[in-house]
């Protein structure tokens, strides 16, 4: 036994199943149609007519794909119609090849007919999601411990630089205040001297 894939009508993966090792290809999945009241009457009338075959109605509900599923696909989808068309073309080409091979005379010196290239069945599996949807599912890379330390170090250096800038600005403001105080002290001393010379004090 080997694994095959059950798909919906669009070829989208539903679940795995088991098939015989010899089974390969794509097969329709049919289910009986639920009979309504009118259908029951019709079936009853058909039973009375021995000439009509009494077969239950069925409908196509999906496919069983006995073709290897490649790894790494997101919501795998099988191109059933594309595969069947390619397989039909290959089968036709192979029949023509066998006919030409049967007519070929090696003694004629003409080259033997070329065997058609088999269908690459697995290539008809594809991602059911767009590149954007797949990218959104990818986990964001987690920084290593070394990367985390580098980030923290950069933040600390930036913080130190900001503190140094504030400190320089504070020193500059302090120097301005000291210069202003020195000027006021000098002005006050000059005023006292002038008052003393005039005999006011």
Burial code (b: 16+ CB inside 10 Å, e: under 16) for 111-128 equals eeeeeeeebebeebbbeb
User: Rounded to a whole number, what is the largest CA-CA distance in the chain?
Assistant: 149
**What's the whole-number average pLDDT of the chain?**
86
Contact 50, 91 (CB under 8 A): no
Q: What's the token pair of residue 2?
A: 């080997």
Say what the pLDDT of residue 88 is.
Answer: 97
Distance of alpha carbon 136 from alpha carbon 13, whole angstroms? 20
- Which residues lie closer than 8 Å to 143 by C-beta, 6 or more apart? 151
Give the DSSP letter of residue 85.
Answer: H
Q: State pTM to two decimals.
A: 0.59
Say what the pLDDT of residue 51 is.
Answer: 57
Checking if the pLDDT of 38 tops 90, the result is: no
Give the DSSP letter of residue 129.
Answer: S
**How does residue 37 score in pLDDT terms, banded at 50, 70 and 90?**
low
Contact 11, 84 (CB under 8 A): no
Q: What's the token pair of residue 151?
A: 């980030």
Domain ranges of the chain: 2-137, 141-201
Say what the pLDDT of residue 72 is.
Answer: 87
pLDDT digits (tens, 9 = 90+) for 66-90: 999 999 888 999 999 999 999 999 9
Q: Which residues pair with 118 in a beta bridge?
A: none
What percent of the chain stands above pLDDT 70? Answer: 89
Distance of alpha carbon 159 from alpha carbon 152, whole angstroms? 11
Backbone φ, ψ for residue 188 (5° rounding): -65, -40
Collapsed DSSP state (helix, strand, coil) of residue 26 = strand
What DSSP string describes 87-126?
A: HHHHHHHHHHHHHHHHH--GGG-PPPPPPPPPP-GGGGEE
- Which residues lie closer than 8 Å to 68 by C-beta, 6 or more apart? 121, 122
pLDDT digits (tens, 9 = 90+) for 147-161: 888 888 889 888 888
Checking if the pLDDT of 92 tops 90, the result is: yes
């Amino acid at each position: 036994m080997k694994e095959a894939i059950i798909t919906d009508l669009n070829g989208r993966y539903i679940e795995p199943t088991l098939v015989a090792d010899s089974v390969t290809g794509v097969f329709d999945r049919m289910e009986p149609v639920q009979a309504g009241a009118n259908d029951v009457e019709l079936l009853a009338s058909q039973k009375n007519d021995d000439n009509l075959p009494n077969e239950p109605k069925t409908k196509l509900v999906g496919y069983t794909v006995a073709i290897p599923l490649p790894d790494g696909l997101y919501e795998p989808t099988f191109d059933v119609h594309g595969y069947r068309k390619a397989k039909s073309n290959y089968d036709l080409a192979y029949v023509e090849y066998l006919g030409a091979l049967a007519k070929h005379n090696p003694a004629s010196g003409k080259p033997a007919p070329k065997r058609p290239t088999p269908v690459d069945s697995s290539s008809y599996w594809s991602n059911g999601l767009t590149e954007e949807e797949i990218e959104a599912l990818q986990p964001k890379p987690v920084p290593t411990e070394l990367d985390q330390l580098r980030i923290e170090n950069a933040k600390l250096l930036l913080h130190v630089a900001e503190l140094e800038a504030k400190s320089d600005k504070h020193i500059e403001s302090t120097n301005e205040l000291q210069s202003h105080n020195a000027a006021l002290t000098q002005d006050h001393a000059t005023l006292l001297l002038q008052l003393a010379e005039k005999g006011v004090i």
